[in-house]
Chain A
């Protein structure tokens, strides 16, 4: 009996976007790995732009009464530098590397909602373009600070179109961020490979999960504040205009209600990177897994109730300030637990100083500097001196640059072989590392002193007061070294992509699932996901005689 096929045999493959080569394969992609890499490329671009903005500011401040750039341009530069580095570099980098790694780390084929994933990415790009389009308007880019306090950012005081583009750009990326948050949560909860329970989840994925909850809790706060500001600016509403019955302070509550959790959105995934890198290069499991994961949840929850420590100088009263002081100081406890656990992970290990580990170890010390100065300024009487001075600039660069960005560099060097299939150059990596460490500390260490000596932030010029010129000169020299380090970094990426040594599946001898597949991984990620019986599936495979508990 002959069989009659109901569907004719396919003789030619169906047209597929994945088979097309070149730009379209990327632009039209819904593959999480391609989208992840596109995030990294776009953030590298914005990183270079934001870095140039910073260098221009440092050149202006190199000596007292300098007139390299006008006050208008200076104010645009610090507004754009802050906005760019926060919303278009650190945040999308961490979201992007999460998008690349989360499915691989949990043994999934892709994110739960691949199209939503692409939408998030393109909204972020759209936001960046809207923001930077403002440079082409007649009055230039926004010049009201990355915080855009009302009423200064309201129409009567800032007629420029800048702040309007700023709001629109951040609204677009913000919507994308909420979508990423939802996508991550659903992916992590529903797509884990069998055996990968929540208690076995890689710590990086834990941190992404907590970050994603923060994203969906706090982005709506700033989105509504932006909507109100937009109504004020475009339709003559008066939400934040005191002269016509609005409240200037209300905006600050909205802004920091988002803005402080935001700094944990910028640091928690970085903690995740550190929690992956330090164990692998110490050849030991993370010390106190439950406490590292648990303290992340604690930080996430506490971060929702500390926003007004940005407002100690607003004059809201001793009782109000005391509440936010203690809430902020409490965050030091779970953060301290993490630092000690990372340190204990290295104890008794066999530490391999490859570039990712160099950045991770330096992260530890620099983040502690930023964390400790953070505890100090959580105390209102200290903040009454320090706030709005260079002390704060130093503080948050130690957390955001010495912290987040050092972790990002560690992550780039660590996962570069997985993404590209080639090893990054160790020699250039070490050059990059040392130039970054020296440049960073030269730039920002003296700024603590400048702040304590009374130099306010956001000033385009300053008088020749004792030592101000010297310290600003040191800071500018440091920033130029940082500029050089970035050139080495970019050169390393380009050179290693072209001619790096082939990496193989698992060059670092690591233990999480992304290292079980090829480098770079195939479109479907895994031919076969290894069985998961513990937190380190590849350790268990390699050491069947002594598997993890």
Chain B
């Protein structure tokens, strides 16, 4: 059986607390629904009209005592719900004081800019985190409202232009956790996916170390031509200025175009030839590259590790 995602695979202490609360409230809700459904079904069968019977039933106008009882009982249930809600809210979302963020996420139409202020690593669309650590994430947007949501790791939070948000992010076991933008942000909202790659501290340190270095520009072969084209074809106008995602370590990523395609050299070729097909109306233009140029640029991007 395939594994279900979302609340069925809670993978952080925050998410576990949220799932506990969700389960509790859903069980109570289903019980209430069951009782009401059974009661109504019973009434419908017991008090259905028999065809021969035309006399009016006894006329009953209500009872204040009964009304008080069924006002107090829901009030008590609501009280319990509210109490457990408050407890969970503060467990999931404790104040962060004046701690500096471990990760900054900036929303763009339709990709995620990622920046680790402590190491200076800059990347896009794929968050790496060490397991078992609570990271403080700061979130913002440069254009419209987006929403960071990795279901298995906890709450979602909006990325609002002109308003800074913070959220705690952690994972209790290694794995790849899929997420997506959850606030409608325009044409390509559906292809604004994010993933969190949780790994052991050593693996994370290794990843961070690799990403801190700027890979050498290839000087020979197809890749060298690609490097030249990358400058000449105006790619850098967006990809080095933060308008488009940073491509410095592109070949180490799992997906292209914020999750629209798997990151393989052949997909990269298809993407460069016709971005409109895979992510219609995104801001990645079709640069009308020749096959030679496409292959050269792909070779260059693949060489960047």
Least CB distance from A289 to B in Å reads 7
Residues in B with CB closer than 8 Å to A285 are 59-61
Measured CA separation A361–B143 after assembly (Å): 48
B7 interface hit (Cβ, 8 Å): yes
Measured CA separation A389–B154 after assembly (Å): 14
Measured CA separation A340–B88 after assembly (Å): 31
Measured CA separation A29–B161 after assembly (Å): 50
In the complex, what residue of chain A is closest to B279 when comparing beta carbons? A71
Least CB distance from A122 to B in Å reads 33
B44 interface hit (Cβ, 8 Å): yes
**Residues B25 and A375 in contact, CB atoms below 8 Å apart:** yes
**Residues A249 and B160 in contact, CB atoms below 8 Å apart:** yes
**Residues B62 and A341 in contact, CB atoms below 8 Å apart:** yes
Least CB distance from A445 to B in Å reads 12
In-complex Cβ contact of A339 among B36, B81, B109, B281 (8 A): B36
**Residues A70 and B70 in contact, CB atoms below 8 Å apart:** no
A161 interface hit (Cβ, 8 Å): no
Given A287-B62, A325-B82, A379-B25, check contact A337 B71 (CB 8 Å). Answer: yes
Residues in B with CB closer than 8 Å to A457 are 182, 184
Residues in A with CB closer than 8 Å to B5 are 453-454, 465-466
**Residues A387 and B156 in contact, CB atoms below 8 Å apart:** yes
Measured CA separation A71–B181 after assembly (Å): 16
Least CB distance from A112 to B in Å reads 31
Given A149-B145, A454-B178, check contact A247 B162 (CB 8 Å). Answer: yes
B217 interface hit (Cβ, 8 Å): no
Residues in B with CB closer than 8 Å to A336 are 70, 74
In-complex Cβ contact of B56 among A283, A290, A341, A347 (8 A): A283
**Residues B29 and A379 in contact, CB atoms below 8 Å apart:** no
In the complex, what residue of chain B is closest to A295 when comparing beta carbons? B71
A365 interface hit (Cβ, 8 Å): yes
**Residues A456 and B43 in contact, CB atoms below 8 Å apart:** no
Measured CA separation A350–B43 after assembly (Å): 10
- Which one of B154, B158, B187 has the greatest number of beta carbons of chain A within 10 Å? B158
Residues in B with CB closer than 8 Å to A480 are none
**Residues A351 and B48 in contact, CB atoms below 8 Å apart:** yes
In-complex Cβ contact of B62 among A343, A344, A458 (8 A): A344
Least CB distance from A376 to B in Å reads 5
Given A151-B145, A332-B74, check contact A314 B67 (CB 8 Å). Answer: no
Question: Which of the segments A96-104, A126-134, A366-374, A483-491 contacts the partner chain?
Answer: A366-374
Interface string of B75-97 (1 = CB under 8 A from A): 10010011001101110110000
Least CB distance from A329 to B in Å reads 5
Residues in B with CB closer than 8 Å to A387 are 156, 182
Least CB distance from A450 to B in Å reads 9
Question: Which of the segments A20-28, A224-232, A315-323 contacts the partner chain?
Answer: A315-323
Measured CA separation A380–B157 after assembly (Å): 11
Question: Which of the segments B14-22, B113-121, B197-205 contacts the partner chain?
Answer: B14-22
In-complex Cβ contact of A346 among B47, B82, B89 (8 A): B47
**Residues B60 and A287 in contact, CB atoms below 8 Å apart:** yes
**Residues A242 and B162 in contact, CB atoms below 8 Å apart:** yes
Measured CA separation A75–B74 after assembly (Å): 40
B208 interface hit (Cβ, 8 Å): no
Measured CA separation A350–B46 after assembly (Å): 9
Residues in A with CB closer than 8 Å to B49 are 283, 350-353
A10 interface hit (Cβ, 8 Å): no
Measured CA separation A255–B70 after assembly (Å): 34
Least CB distance from A338 to B in Å reads 10
Given A145-B184, A352-B49, check contact A384 B4 (CB 8 Å). Answer: no
Residues in A with CB closer than 8 Å to B29 are 372-373, 375-376
A46 interface hit (Cβ, 8 Å): no
Measured CA separation A549–B166 after assembly (Å): 61
In-complex Cβ contact of B39 among A321, A343, A353, A381 (8 A): A343
**Residues A329 and B78 in contact, CB atoms below 8 Å apart:** yes
A45 interface hit (Cβ, 8 Å): no
**Residues B62 and A291 in contact, CB atoms below 8 Å apart:** yes
Residues of B92-110 contacting chain A, CB below 8 A: 92-93, 109
Residues in A with CB closer than 8 Å to B191 are 461
A382 interface hit (Cβ, 8 Å): yes
Tally of chain A residues near chain B (CB < 8 A): 92
Measured CA separation A19–B24 after assembly (Å): 65
In-complex Cβ contact of B32 among A282, A318, A350, A372 (8 A): A372
In the complex, what residue of chain B is closest to A153 when comparing beta carbons? B144
**Residues B86 and A322 in contact, CB atoms below 8 Å apart:** yes
Residues of B248-305 contacting chain A, CB below 8 A: 259, 280-281
In-complex Cβ contact of B85 among A287, A347, A379, A466 (8 A): A379
Residues of B181-200 contacting chain A, CB below 8 A: 181-191
A477 interface hit (Cβ, 8 Å): no
B237 interface hit (Cβ, 8 Å): no
In-complex Cβ contact of A379 among B33, B37, B57, B81 (8 A): B81
In-complex Cβ contact of A380 among B57, B89, B163, B190 (8 A): B89
**Residues A318 and B89 in contact, CB atoms below 8 Å apart:** yes
In-complex Cβ contact of A152 among B18, B155, B178, B186 (8 A): B186
In the complex, what residue of chain A is closest to B160 when comparing beta carbons? A248
A333 interface hit (Cβ, 8 Å): yes
**Residues A381 and B89 in contact, CB atoms below 8 Å apart:** yes
Interface string of B25-57 (1 = CB under 8 A from A): 110011011001101100110011110010011
In the complex, what residue of chain B is closest to A72 when comparing beta carbons? B187
Measured CA separation A462–B191 after assembly (Å): 8
Measured CA separation A285–B92 after assembly (Å): 49
Residues in A with CB closer than 8 Å to B44 are 346, 351, 353, 361
Least CB distance from B91 to A in Å reads 8
A220 interface hit (Cβ, 8 Å): no
**Residues B25 and A315 in contact, CB atoms below 8 Å apart:** no
Residues in A with CB closer than 8 Å to B63 are 288
Residues in B with CB closer than 8 Å to A452 are 6-8
Interface string of A439-457 (1 = CB under 8 A from B): 0000000000001111011
Measured CA separation A326–B56 after assembly (Å): 43
**Residues B75 and A333 in contact, CB atoms below 8 Å apart:** yes
Measured CA separation A333–B79 after assembly (Å): 11
B227 interface hit (Cβ, 8 Å): no
**Residues A381 and B190 in contact, CB atoms below 8 Å apart:** no
Least CB distance from B168 to A in Å reads 12
**Residues B57 and A283 in contact, CB atoms below 8 Å apart:** yes
**Residues B43 and A347 in contact, CB atoms below 8 Å apart:** yes
Complex A-B: 29 CB contacts under 8 Å:
A71-B187, A71-B188, A143-B187, A149-B145, A152-B186, A157-B144, A242-B162, A285-B61, A291-B62, A313-B182, A333-B78, A343-B39, A350-B49, A368-B37, A376-B25, A381-B18, A384-B155, A385-B151, A385-B155, A388-B147, A388-B149, A388-B156, A453-B4, A454-B6, A454-B151, A454-B179, A456-B149, A456-B181, A457-B182
The 3 closest A-B pairs by CB, nearest first: A242-B162, A384-B155, A466-B2
Taking A242-B160, A454-B180 as given, write out 17 further A-B residue pairs in contact, using a Cβ cutoff of 8 Å, ordered by the A residue number: A72-B281, A151-B161, A152-B185, A242-B162, A248-B162, A288-B66, A290-B62, A322-B86, A336-B70, A349-B47, A361-B40, A372-B32, A381-B21, A454-B6, A454-B151, A456-B181, A457-B184
Interface residues of A (CB under 8 A from B): 70-72, 75, 143-145, 149, 151-152, 157-158, 242-243, 246-249, 282-291, 313-315, 318, 321-322, 325-326, 329-330, 332-333, 336-337, 339-341, 343-344, 346-353, 361, 364-365, 368-369, 372-373, 375-376, 379-382, 384-385, 387-389, 451-454, 456-463, 465-467, 543, 546, 548-549
